[in-house]
Structure 1
C-alpha cells in the first residue's frame, strides 16, 4: 500500500476541536495521506481550520459559504478527490471522531490479501 493511493474525505460542521485530533490519528495510522476537509459553513471556525492545516500539503480545505448538508459535503469532497485519477481507496470519515482510522488500515490490508 502506498499512501498516495489513499484519499480521505471529512465533512465538517462546527467540529474544529476534533479535526486536529483526527488528522493526527490518520497520520499515525496511514502516514501523509491526501485529506479533503469540506467545511459546511461552520460558524467562525474557518480561520481555526486553516491554522490547523497550515503547512500540511496533503490536506485541502473546501470552505462552503452556505450550509448545504453533510451528504452534499461528502459529494463535494469525492468530486475533489476524483480529479486525481490515481487514488485506489477513497474513504469518508466523520469529523466527530466516530470512525477509527485503524479500520481503514485493516480494510486496505485485507483488500491486499492480508499483506
Structure 2
C-alpha cells in the first residue's frame, strides 16, 4: 500500500491509499479515498490504539477481531497482522501473529481488491 498526503491544507492530511498486487504493473493499481490508516508494528496495544479501536465500535478481544476476509464488524474497515485475530466463530484458525507477515499482507490486499474491484 502507498499513502498520498494532501498538502493543500495547513497540515498535510491523508487523502488516498493505493494498492497494487505484487505481480501487477502500475495499470493494475487501485486508488481509494482514505481519511485514516492505522498501522502498528509493536507486539502490544498502547492505550491510544485501544481507545481508537474501541471508540469506533470495533470489537477488541485482546486483539482487533476480524472475519475470514479480514473485515472488522464495519465491513469497510479491514485489519491484518499481529494485533488482529479471527472471531471466536473461527477459533480453530491460527492467531495472526503466527502467520507470515508477507503472506498475511498479500491476503489482506487481495481481500481489499476483491471489495473494490470484484472482477479483478
Fold shared by both chains (TM-score > 0.5) = no
Q: Which has the higher contact order (CA 8 A, sep 6+)?
A: 1
Name which one, 1 or 2, has greater alpha-carbon Rg. 2
The answer to which structure has the higher helix fraction is: 1
What is the TM-score of this pair, normalised by structure 1? 0.29
What is the TM-score of this pair, normalised by structure 2? 0.29
